[in-house]
Amino acid sequence: MSPFTRRHFLAGSACGAAALCLPEFWLPGAFAAELTKTPAQTEGPFYPDKLPLDTDNDLIIINEKLTPAVGEITHLTGKVLDLNGEPLRNAVVEIWQCDNNGAYLHSGSDNGKKRDGNFQGFGRFLTGTTGEYYFRTIRPVAYPGRTPHIHFKIKQGNKDLLITQLYVQDDPGNERDGIYRNVRDAKLRAAITTPFVPVKNSKIGELAANFDVFLGMTPESK
């Protein structure tokens, strides 16, 4: 199981000490001179209508199953920051996405009968003092009408701070995706698009992606 044990993943979802939960190849975000607010996007219809029992930050393995999910394993990292580059602690980062067959963890998913029962489909991570998060998931795939993407929701307490989507840089489906194309400003598009790059020396073809989220407002509690 890659460079991390199951214990690290379970601890990562609750400990909030993100630096202890990140793998060696964590990719730090590149800070621009002028930070761009991450644009909000639609939540979509497939936020899980019934959350799984396992909601940790390892979407590849469910509970203690031995069979991993199908797909290109991706180590997804990033930070939750304000527009001054200051980290937001105690923020819950939620992600959800379709499996390698294009099916969501949702009763209305079009391809539900082919859903990969070994893919968690949804995960959470609590940020620590550095604002960092980490997920092990799969590279998103396209399904009819949508380019590959991962949904994000940032929460603090009972308040939703941001809902957005992350896209794969240079994917040919991006320019045909109506939700992606609706973001017309080049800087805003760049803020929700990132490369998924091969992990050096990985024997199983793992990928790494980094997505820093910049909130337009600074919540009262950090």
pLDDT tens digits, residue range 94-123? 999 999 999 999 999 887 788 999 999 999
Q: What is the pTM of this model?
A: 0.85
Q: Which of 217, 203, 220 is nearest to 73 (CA)?
A: 203
Confidence of residue 35 (pLDDT cuts 50, 70, 90): confident
Predicted pLDDT of residue 74: 98
**pLDDT at residue number 29:** 44
CATH of domain 6-213: 2.60.130.10
Element (H, E) at 122: strand 122-126
Name the band, by pLDDT with cuts 50, 70 and 90, for residue 217.
Answer: low
- 220 — pLDDT class (breaks 50, 70, 90): low
Percent of the chain with pLDDT over 90: 73
Domain ranges of the chain: 6-213
At 4 the three-state DSSP class reads: coil
What are the CA-CA distances from residue 139 to residues 5, 16, 123, 222 (Å)? 20, 24, 15, 31
Contacts of 159 (CB under 8 A, 6+ apart): 219
- Give per-residue pLDDT as tens, 37-84: 999 999 999 999 999 889 999 999 998 888 999 999 999 999 999 989
Of 72-81, 111-120, 166-175, 191-200, where does mean pLDDT reach its minimum?
111-120
